[in-house]
Amino acid sequence: MEQRYDLVIVGAGPAGMTAAIYGSRAGLNTAMLEMGAPGGKLIKTNEISNWPGIIGTNGANLASDMFAHSTAFGAEYLYGNVTKIEDGEEYKKIICEDGTIYEAKAVIVATGTNERMMNIPGEAENIGRGVSFCAVCDGAFFRNKEVCVIGGGNSALEEANYLTQMVDKVNIIIRRDVFRADEIVQEQVKKNPKINIITKHVPVKVIDDGTRVTGLVIRNVDTNEETTMDTNGIFPYIGLDPSTSFLEGLAVLDERGYMVVDENCETAVKGIYGAGDVVAKKLRQVVTATSDGAIAAQHAFHQIKGI
Ligand code: NDP
């Protein structure tokens, strides 16, 4: 027997949680499905310094406050690993891995992005044994050690800065000789005495001793010369891919897999919305995610109520 709602939100990051606040506060019978902990990328982020009204806060604290808010007006929080969404006349079907099916008049997809892997030998088998995609979660395991951060975007540089609170040295490895991160973050990194910047190199192989990571082979992109670095921790921050494989049957994705939406955050399929980092757009931030969540839920409310 399917469970019916006015609005089902897939993903409980900042976009999904904001949509839950707006949907339930407007009186929609709302459920939010999440397959992990609520908070999305927030719970993997140490410092948030661009959330208006709070000069500096911790990602986990902001996530916890948002979660309490998201369920305060009656939205249900449910476990669900969504594998497929089907369009329907009045109701969309949201199908979960365990066979549970939800039906909703509107669906807001706010599933965000997943960290991109380096796809080099030794990487996959050493996740949890030295290769980590979350400095906030795993940084403490490398206290007084030397680690490598791969990438030159905001994520890499912010997390490299964070890691210096516990490790002895962070090597940031970038493939060009310029960073992609915001200037303010670059300045912090350049001033940090514990950070060593290695330009024009790419990672080619993770070395281990059978139980944990012991090194990383990097290649100079100009000379092709390879160097082995001694390191116990490798943090790849080389970009993100949208978490949208369950939408492949619907014509709502661009060529990179991001959701294409209009100014109401609605896709080409009426009643199916995208919000937050999963959407094709330029600025992926907590504020832009929450904005999308509000817009999508408000428009869904208008559509459901025929306003
Ligand atoms: P980005 O795409 O911004 O940066 C990825 C980095 O990894 C680049 O330096 C890129 O190099 C490098 N890279 C990509 N592929 C490879 C590879 N195969 N081998 C080696 N290096 C590689 O990703 P982020 O995760 O940093 O950020 C994603 C989005 O989230 C961005 O829009 C960012 O601004 C935003 N963000 C904002 C934050 C904030 O405002 N506080 C915090 C974190 C993220 P190259 O430059 O040469 O392409």
Does residue 1 surpass a pLDDT of 80?
Answer: no
Q: What is the share, in percent, of the chain residues with pLDDT greater than 70?
A: 100
Report whether 54 contacts 22 (CB < 8 A). Answer: no
Ligand 1 site, residue 154, Cβ cutoff 6 A: yes
pTM tops 0.85, yes or no: yes
DSSP-assigned states of every residue in 201-243: EEEEEEEE-SSSEEEEEEEETTT--EEEEE-SEEEE---EEE-
Give tens-digit pLDDT for 9-44. 999 999 999 999 999 999 999 999 999 999 999 998
Does residue 305 surpass a pLDDT of 80?
Answer: yes
Give tens-digit pLDDT for 193-206. 999 999 999 999 99
**What tokens appear for 289 in the block?**
């995610």
Ligand 1 site, residue 153, Cβ cutoff 6 A: yes
Ligand 1 site, residue 166, Cβ cutoff 6 A: no
Nearest C-alpha to atom 43 of ligand 1 is from which residue?
155
Q: How confident is the model at residue 129 (pLDDT cuts 50, 70, 90)?
A: very high
Q: What pLDDT was estimated at residue 162? A: 95
The mean pLDDT of 130-148, rounded to a whole number, is: 94
Amino acid at residue number 196: N
48 Cα to the center of ligand 1, angstroms: 17
Q: What is the number of other CB atoms lying within 10 angstroms of the CB of residue 78?
A: 16
Give tens-digit pLDDT for 64-90. 999 999 999 999 999 999 999 999 889
The dihedrals phi and psi of 69, each to the nearest 5 degrees, come to -65, -40
Q: How confident is the model at residue 257 (pLDDT cuts 50, 70, 90)?
A: very high
Which sequence positions are flagged as catalytic?
A: 134, 137-138
153 Cα to the center of ligand 1, angstroms: 4
Nearest ligand 1 atom, CA 113: 28
Give tens-digit pLDDT for 156-184. 999 999 999 999 999 999 999 999 999 99
Ligand 1 site, residue 200, Cβ cutoff 6 A: no
**What tokens appear for 102 in the block?**
């939800």
The mean pLDDT of 35-54, rounded to a whole number, is: 92
Q: What is the number of other CB atoms lying within 10 angstroms of the CB of residue 101?
A: 13
Ligand 1 site, residue 236, Cβ cutoff 6 A: no
Q: Across the strands, what pairs with 134?
A: none
Ligand 1, from 44, 238, 277, 281: best to mutate by most atoms within 8 Å of Cβ? Answer: 238
CA 303 to each of CA 7, 37, 117, 264: distance values in angstroms, whole numbers, following the listed order: 11, 30, 39, 11
The mean pLDDT of 111-137, rounded to a whole number, is: 95
- Chain mean pLDDT for the chain: 96
Ligand 1 site, residue 150, Cβ cutoff 6 A: yes
The count of residues in the chain is 307
24 contact partners, CB below 8 Å, separation of at least 6:
30, 73, 74, 75
The mean pLDDT of 91-106, rounded to a whole number, is: 97
